[in-house]
Structure 1
Amino acid sequence: MARRRTPSPAAPTDCPCGRPAPYAECCGRLHRGEAAASSAEQLMRSRFSAFAVRDEPYLLRSWHPDTRPAAIDFDPSLRWERLEVLGSTEGGPFHTEGTVEFRAHYLEGGRSDALHERSRFVRHQGEWVYLDGDVGA
């Protein structure tokens, strides 16, 4: 019997971003295009959740066109587990840029690890987008 592959995990009940809210009411609204991120941190949280649920269209939509890749290659052996926001600068409603430092915990091949990054966000056509980041910052 052929094994059936699912391209992405089922939508979680709790939001992967770490906020105490259901996914559908938190980052799910942004992923579905029902709301826009009001801050750089909210966009970063929604992008972490998009990686967790493998939402390629949202990730590409929320990436600055100058640095956006053509596609996202999700590693099927990697599962994003938890997000820690370590700090942020600017990135609020009256800013045009901001940074968010975070640690994204993941499980790969039964081994736990974390990605530490300082991400830069800017407004592009009125919306917050991810520009780039320094990994291991």
Structure 2
Amino acid sequence: MITDESRCPCGLGEPYGACCGRFHRGTVTAPTAELLMRSRFSAFAVGDTAYLAETWHPKTRPADLELDPGRRWTFLEILGKTGGGLLENEGTVEFRAHYRQDRRADSMHENSGFVRVDRQWIYVAPVS
């Protein structure tokens, strides 16, 4: 169970409540594509499907989003990024998300595309 005082799963080392928790609660929106990526990883870690759906482009968002209860997201590595800054409207974030499932460690690698819509960053889809 992650509390506001727990270390945030995104890897920045801040308490969850002051880091990604504020995005999940809707207090503020992520100001960059990378911070949105980190907050989405944390949403997977805490099981916040509402936040994941809200920050997923409607054209690519699945109709039903169910998380695997046996998968525990453990840490995130940001491998690179393009654009996605405070004054930009598009960007990518390449990452490796680590998890444990069935007592085995594994990871997934993706280069994700993001766009800003109405001053809010949203995830679109993997890019090549």
Considering the TM-score relative to the shorter chain, is it more than 0.5?
Answer: yes
Provide the C-alpha distance between the structure 2 equivalents of 1:117 and 1:29, rounded to a whole number of angstroms. 25
Number of the residue aligned with 2:20: 27
Residue 2 of structure 2 corresponds to residue 11 of structure 1: yes
Number of the residue aligned with 2:113: 120
Count of aligned pairs between the two proteins: 126
Secondary structure class of the residue paired with 1:87: strand
Number of the residue aligned with 2:43: 50
Which ranges of structure 1 fall in alignment gaps of 5 or more residues?
A: 1-9
- Runs of at least 4 residues off by over 2 Å: none
Shift of 1:71: 2.4
User: TM-score, normalised on structure 1?
Assistant: 0.89
Kindly provide the CA deviation profile for residues 76-116 of structure 1, in whole angstroms up to 9, marking residues without a partner as x: 11100000000100000111100000000000100000100
Which ranges of structure 2 fall in alignment gaps of 5 or more residues?
A: none
Number of the residue aligned with 1:5: none
CA RMSD of aligned residues (A): 1.0
User: TM-score, normalised on structure 2?
Assistant: 0.95
Identical aligned residues as a percent: 54
The answer to whether the 8 Å contact 1:64/1:124 transfers is no
Decide which structure has the larger Cα Rg and report it: 1
Kindly provide the CA deviation profile for residues 13-59 of structure 1, in whole angstroms up to 9, marking residues without a partner as x: 11000011000110000000001100000000000000000001100
Shift of 1:70: 1.9
Provide the C-alpha distance between the structure 2 equivalents of 1:74 and 1:35, rounded to a whole number of angstroms. 24
The answer to whether the 8 Å contact 1:67/1:132 transfers is yes
